[in-house]
Chains A and B, each alone.
Chain A
Amino acid sequence: MDAIRENLPLLLQGIGTTVALTVLGYAFALLLGTVLAVARVSPIPPLRGAATVYVEIFRNIPLLSLLILIAFGLPDVGLLLPYFWCGVLGLTLSSAAFVCENVRSGINTVPVGHAEAARSIGLGFFGTLRFVVLPQAFRSMVQPLVNVFIGTVIGSALCSAIAVQEVTWVTQTLNIRYAQAVLMFMIAGAVYLILSLGGAALGGAIERAVAPGGRNRSSGRAALDVTAGAQA
Chain B
Amino acid sequence: MSTTSSTATQVLFDAPGPKGRRRILLLSVLSVVLIVALLAGALWQFHANGQLDPNKWVVYLRADYLAFLGRGLWGTLKVTALAAVIAFPFGLLLALARLSRFLLLRSVAVTWIEFFRGIPMLLVVYAFLLALPAFGVTFPRFWMLVIPMILVSSATTAEVFRAGIRAVDIGQHEAADAIGLSRRDALIHVVLPQAVRLVLPSLILALVTLLKDSTLGYVVSYNELQFQGKTLVSITRYLVQTYLVVSVIYIVINLLLTRIALALDVRMKERAVAS
Seen from chain A, the residues whose Cβ lies within 8 Å of a Cβ on chain B are: 40-48, 50, 56-57, 59-66, 68-69, 72-73, 76-79, 104-105, 107-108, 110, 112, 114-115, 119, 125, 128-129, 133, 150, 153-158, 160-161, 168, 172, 175-176, 179, 181-182, 185, 188-189, 192-193, 196-197, 219-221, 223-224, 226-227, 229-232
User: A69 touches which one: B10, B208, B243 (CB < 8 A)?
Assistant: B243
Cβ of B104 under 8 Å from chain A: no
With A63-B212, A77-B49 as contacts: A43 and B120 at CB distance below 8 Å: no
Interface residues on B, range: 35 or more
Question: CA A220 – CA B24 in complex, angstroms?
Answer: 39
State the majority secondary structure of interface residues on B. helix
Contact of B167 among A168, A176, A181, A219 (CB under 8 A): A219
Docked-complex contact A193 and B118, CB < 8 angstroms = yes
Do residues B251 and A226 form an inter-chain contact, with CB atoms below 8 A?
no
A61 and B131 within 8 A (CB):
no
Is B243 a contact of A77 with CB atoms below 8 Å? no
With a CB–CB cut-off of 8 A, which chain A residues contact B246?
65
Q: Which residues of A are found within 8 Å of B214, using beta-carbon distances? A: 62
Contact check, B9 vs A158: say whether CB atoms are below 8 A apart. Answer: no
Q: Nearest residue in A to B118 (C-beta to C-beta)?
A: A196
A230 touches B119 (CB 8 A): no
Taking CB atoms and an 8 Å cut-off, the chain B residues in 195-216 that contact chain A are 198-199, 201-202, 205-206, 208-209, 211-216
Contact assessment for B10 and A112 in the assembled complex, using a CB-CB cutoff below 8 Å: yes
Do residues B12 and A115 form an inter-chain contact, with CB atoms below 8 A? yes
Whole-angstrom CA separation of A119 from B120 in the bound complex: 45
Query: What mask results when residues 97 to 122 of chain B are scored 1 for a CB within 8 Å of chain A, else 0?
Result: 00000000000000000110111111
Given A50-B35, A133-B11, A230-B156, A154 and B120 touching (CB < 8 A)? Answer: yes
Kindly identify which residue among B126, B206, B208, B254 contacts A172, using a CB–CB cutoff of 8 Å: B126
Partner of A220, one of B51, B166, B216, B254: B166
Chain B 117-156, CB-CB to A under 8 Å as 1, else 0, gives: 1111111001100110010000000000000000000001
**Stretch of B25-33, B64-72, B83-91, B181-189 that contacts chain A:** B25-33
* Cβ contact within 8 Å between A41 and B5: yes
Other-chain contact of A43, B7, B16, B166 (Cβ < 8 Å): B16
Cβ–Cβ < 8 Å partners of B247 in chain A = 61-62, 65-66, 69
Chain A residues in 8 Å Cβ range of B4: 104-105, 108, 227
Identity of the chain A residue whose Cβ is nearest the Cβ of B218 in the assembled complex: A64
A60 touches B208 (CB 8 A): yes
Q: What is the minimal beta-carbon distance from A232 to any residue of chain B, in angstroms?
A: 4
Q: How would residues 9 to 51 of chain B score, 1 for a CB under 8 Å from any chain A CB and 0 otherwise?
A: 1111110100010001001100110010000000001101101
- Is B262 positioned at the interface, with any CB of A under 8 Å from its CB? yes
Please tell me if B165 contacts chain A, counting CB pairs below 8 Å. yes
Q: Which of B28, B45, B122, B168 contacts A78 (CB 8 A)?
A: B45
